């Protein structure tokens, strides 16, 4: 059963997954390409740091892509096919989730290999160290967190998605009203801080995403 679910998900995502794999491999390579020219540790750090934002962004994008494609075909058919199959809903959702997670391994491995290649090829100043395994692990965790969140949202109906988006919009609108009233409190900032504060669920997306660091 899992085999055929994995196959369908592979078929639906492969065209979008392939560029994701290429980008995941290229990002670490690109992030250190000028390290040899710059020489000084501070400049190398500044150059590598310029690319840091793209790692969590790619993880979030891949998570979103896998989550949306996991459910797209079932949404299109009103879930009639899935509901007519002799499988419990929770098990079906679990298999779909697991299939997406398995496919996410491809860009994660690509980023790891890219990181290993990049750090092997780039001259690293003696005061700095390369962290290919840590970066790949972090990227993998971030991709899975993003995938989990988006999977949960897209597994629901359009109404669920509307509730989530409506909640975010209401939060922003409330903040605008608070600011208009002269209040210093920002609810959305507080919520974001709570989500990203250690050990918040989104902490993995924050901090330094550096392939080469001190």
Q: By C-beta, is 12 or 192 nearer to another protein? A: 12
Number of residues binding to another protein, judged by CB under 8 A: 19
Three-point CA angle 108, 114, 61, nearest 5°: 40
The angle, 0 to 180 degrees and rounded to 10, between the axes of the packed helices 2-31 and 89-121 is: 30
Residue 86 makes contact with another protein by CB under 8 A:
yes
Residue 88 is a binding residue for another protein (CB under 8 A): yes
Nearest alpha-carbon partner for 29 in 105, 133, 116? 116
Range 97-116, binding another protein (CB under 8 A): none
Stretch that binds another protein, among 6-14, 100-108, 146-154, 175-183 (CB under 8 A): 6-14
Nearest to 92 by CA among 159, 147, 151, 11: 151
Residue 129's DSSP bridge partners are 213
User: Using the rule CB under 8 A, which residue among 10, 51, 73, 102 binds another protein?
Assistant: 73
For residue 205, with 0-12 CB atoms within 10 Å meaning exposed, 13-18 middle and 19 or more buried, which class applies?
buried
Widest CA span in the chain: 63
Q: Which stretch binds another protein (CB under 8 A): 7-15, 122-130, 147-155, 169-177?
A: 7-15
To another protein, the closest distance from the beta carbon of 158 in angstroms equals 17
Answer yes or no: are the C-beta atoms of 6 and 89 closer than 8 Å: no
Residue 77 CB, shortest distance to another protein, in Å, is 5
Query: Is residue 29 near another protein by the rule CB under 8 A?
Result: no
Q: Which stretch binds another protein (CB under 8 A): 83-91, 133-141, 166-174, 195-203?
A: 83-91
Return the residues of window 134-153 that contact another protein according to CB under 8 A.
Answer: none
In contact, 62 and 20? CB cutoff 8 Å: yes
- Among residues 1, 105, 169, 176, which is the contact residue for another protein, using CB under 8 A? 1
**Phi, psi (degrees; rounded to nearest 5) at 202:** -105, 10
Residues at the interface with another protein (CB under 8 A): 1, 3-4, 7-8, 11-12, 73, 76-78, 80-81, 83-88
């Amino acid at each position: 059963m899992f085999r055929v679910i994995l196959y369908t998900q592979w078929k639906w995502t492969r065209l979008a997954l392939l560029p994701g794999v290429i980008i995941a491999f290229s990002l670490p390579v690109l992030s250190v390409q000028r390290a040899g020219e710059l020489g000084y540790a501070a400049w190398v750090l500044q150059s590598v740091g310029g690319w840091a934002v793209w790692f969590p962004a790619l993880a979030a994008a891949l998570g979103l892509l896998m989550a949306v494609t996991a459910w797209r075909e079932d949404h299109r058919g009103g879930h009639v096919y899935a509901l007519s199959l002799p499988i419990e809903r929770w098990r079906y959702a679990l298999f779909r989730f697991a299939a997406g997670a398995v496919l996410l391994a491809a860009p994660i491995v690509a980023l790891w290999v890219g990181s290993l290649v990049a750090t092997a090829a780039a001259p690293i100043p003696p005061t700095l160290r390369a962290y290919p395994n840590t970066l790949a692990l972090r990227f993998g965790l971030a991709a899975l967190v993003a995938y989990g969140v988006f999977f949960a949202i897209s597994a629901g109906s359009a109404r669920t998605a509307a509730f989530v988006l409506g909640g975010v919009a209401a939060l922003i609108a409330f903040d605008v009203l608070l600011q208009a009233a002269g209040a210093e409190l920002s609810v959305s900032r507080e919520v974001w801080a709570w989500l990203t504060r250690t050990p918040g669920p989104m902490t993995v997306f924050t901090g330094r995403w550096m392939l080469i660091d001190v």
